[in-house]
């Protein structure tokens, strides 16, 4: 559904439609440094930014001559509409095909860059592999996906953030609508998840997260 998935207009006011508000804080991002080099060296790229609408991101990316599309997969996954019941063990049954049809069909578009941020740490388990496969199919060869992973599972200390990009080596984080951290990933977990991709470069950080650029 194009109108639901993609939004090239800034949100009105200082907080987004997705419940963001409050201060931003900066952190250095080695992954963003690498992605920014390509974005500033080339024009006319298609960028898919995962998260609630960020006028900051839209304005910066369009100023560089790129097309920007946005999808908030975590918020949509947690609406509850994709759970169709429970199994004999009380475990939720997910309508994965329905989620894929509504959120992972990109109307024939292919992307050069995907800013996935921490979304994989907050998606329910049944949706993680389908999301990665969908991006693999929707990116051009040589395209780059930037992902950030928590190294420890500690939901109380890992609120879901919106990432706002800057023209510097830092990104700005702002607390988004509440979403529980679902997992932490080791390097091996990440390698397995992206086994079909052509390359992976990781950037280690000291604040409990790791970053990776995965090449289509």
- List pLDDT tens digits, range 138-172: 999 999 999 999 988 987 778 999 999 999 999 99
Per-residue pLDDT at 20 exceeds 90: no
Q: Please, what is the average pLDDT of the chain?
A: 87
pLDDT band of residue 191 (cuts 50, 70, 90) is very high
pTM of the model: 0.88
Would you state the pLDDT for residue 107?
85
Separation CA 53–CA 20 (nearest Å): 10
- List pLDDT tens digits, range 206-216: 778 899 999 99
Would you state the pLDDT for residue 155?
76
Mean pLDDT of 181-198: 93
Mean pLDDT of 69-84: 92
Count of residues making up the chain: 216
* 3-state helix/strand/coil string of 138-204: HEEEEEEEEEEEECCCCHHHCCCEEEEECCCCEEEEEECCCCCCCCCCCHHHHHHHCCCCCEEEEEE
Would you state the pLDDT for residue 19?
56
Separation CA 88–CA 64 (nearest Å): 53
Would you state the pLDDT for residue 156?
77
Would you state the pLDDT for residue 80?
85
Would you state the pLDDT for residue 57?
97
Separation CA 81–CA 100 (nearest Å): 13
Domains and their CATH numbers in the chain: 20-215 (3.40.50.150)
């Amino acid at each position: 559904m194009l109108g639901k998935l993609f939004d090239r207009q800034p949100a009105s006011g200082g907080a987004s439609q997705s419940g963001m508000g409050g201060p931003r804080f900066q952190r250095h991002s080695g992954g963003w440094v690498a992605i920014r080099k390509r974005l500033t060296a080339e024009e006319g790229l298609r960028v898919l930014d995962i998260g609630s609408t960020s006028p900051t991101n839209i304005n910066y990316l369009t100023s560089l001559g790129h097309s920007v599309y946005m999808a908030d997969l975590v918020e949509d996954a947690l609406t509850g509409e994709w759970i169709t019941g429970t199994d004999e063990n009380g475990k939720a049954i997910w309508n994965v095909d329905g989620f894929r049809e509504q959120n992972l069909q990109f109307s024939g578009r292919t992307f050069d860059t995907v800013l996935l941020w921490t979304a994989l740490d907050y998606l329910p388990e049944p949706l993680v592999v389908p999301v990665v496969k969908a991006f693999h199919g929707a990116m051009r060869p040589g395209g780059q996906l930037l992902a950030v992973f928590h190294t420890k599972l500690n939901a109380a200390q890992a609120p879901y953030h919106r990432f706002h990009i800057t023209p510097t080596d830092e990104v700005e984080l702002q607390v988004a609508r509440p979403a529980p951290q679902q997992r932490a990933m080791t390097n091996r977990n990440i390698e397995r998840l992206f086994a079909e991709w052509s390359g992976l470069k990781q950037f280690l950080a000291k604040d409990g997260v790791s970053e990776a650029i995965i090449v289509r």
